[in-house]
Amino acid sequence: MNGRVRTMTTNPYAQETLSTLLAGKVAIVTGGNSGIGKSIVECLAQLGAKVVIDYRSHPEATEEIEKEIGSYGGCSFGVQADVSKLDDLQRLVDTAISRYGRLDVMVNNAGIETRTSILDTTPDDYDKVLDVNLRGVFFATQFAAKQMIAQGGGGRIINISSVHEDWPMPNNTPYCCAKGGVRMMTRTAALELAPHGITVVNVGPGAVATPINDSTMNNPELLAKLNAAIPLGRMAQPEEIARVVGFLASDAASYITATTIFADGGIMQSSPGL
């Protein structure tokens, strides 16, 4: 087996260990040390971007990722910042600039859910979910866009939304409200930022095998029900979402804005054919 074939089997994002697709670009990924965010960080780094890994807890997980990226000559570093706190968000952008000098790609990935209904959601549940999933995305977009406008040359804002920006999930009401808000924020902000060459796009994953879905994955009956509802018959692996972000961050996606790219295994169109 030659070296090239070996790297292709171990590297899910690029044919070479370190690609140049995103060379020279600087990206921030919020919620970047676990789940989909971790895969996005790895993907962007393997495609040659310098990546700032925002995280809220588990610094050791962030260090692991930094080490792994460093091992093949990639660049990344972690910043502890809570996206629901505006001071933290501004510090995140400022730190990226002081370390790497610019910001080209802002990936708003951090997200939480309570899996509570309209009847049992407490004001505290509501605030927590909306603060991270909508307010955090709104102001991260604002702060990133101001930096991109100041430096010139445009930029990419990529929001990890959900199929639930448009498709109800009973018993996860605050989450659906937040994602519905992100859907409209993206479309509106994209129009406002287009004159500056900044694109704003959502990625809408379906069910992905990450910690947010532990309760489903640990319940065989629920998991079977979920898989049966997905035309492709299975949950996504986080890499399958990260690759969409890698594409959207690249020049190949220069004409995509004000919309959502769903990567959901067909679940939103699923029908029993009755």
Distance CA 184, CA 181 (A): 5
Q: Give me 120's structure tokens.
A: 């049992």
What strands lie across the sheet with 259-263, from one edge to the other? 75-80, 50-55, 26-29, 105-108, 155-160, 198-205, 259-263
CB of 169 to ligand BGC, least distance (A): 5
**Closer residue to ligand BGC in complex, CB, 96/112:** 112
CB of 223 to ligand BGC, least distance (A): 10
How much helix, strand and coil, in percent to the nearest 5, is found in the chain? 50, 15, 35
CB of 109 to ligand BGC, least distance (A): 12
13 catalytic per annotation: no
Residues binding ligand BGC (CB under 6 A): 113, 162-164, 169, 206-207, 212-213, 216
Dump the DSSP string for 100-152: HS---EEEE---------TTT--HHHHHHHHIIIIIHHHHHHHHHHHHHHHH-
Number of other residues whose CB lies within 10 A of the CB of residue 265? 22
**Closer residue to ligand BGC in complex, CB, 68/166:** 166
Dump the DSSP string for 85-97: SHHHHHHHHHHHH
Q: Which residues pair with 26 in a beta bridge?
A: 50
Distance CA 92, CA 88 (A): 6
Q: Give me 213's structure tokens.
A: 């879905």
**Closer residue to ligand BGC in complex, CB, 28/236:** 236
Q: Give me 252's structure tokens.
A: 């190949």
Closest CA to 31 of 88, 73, 87: 88
Q: Which residues pair with 201 in a beta bridge?
A: 158, 259
Ranked by CB distance to ligand BGC, the top (closest) residue is 162
**Closer residue to ligand BGC in complex, CB, 91/128:** 128
Q: Taking a C-beta distance cutoff of 8 angstroms, is the pair 203, 249 a contact?
A: no
**Closer residue to ligand BGC in complex, CB, 61/268:** 268
**Closer residue to ligand BGC in complex, CB, 160/189:** 160
CB of 18 to ligand BGC, least distance (A): 31
Catalytic residue among 55, 72, 175, 255: 175
CB of 113 to ligand BGC, least distance (A): 5
CB of 138 to ligand BGC, least distance (A): 18
Q: Which residues are catalytic?
A: 175
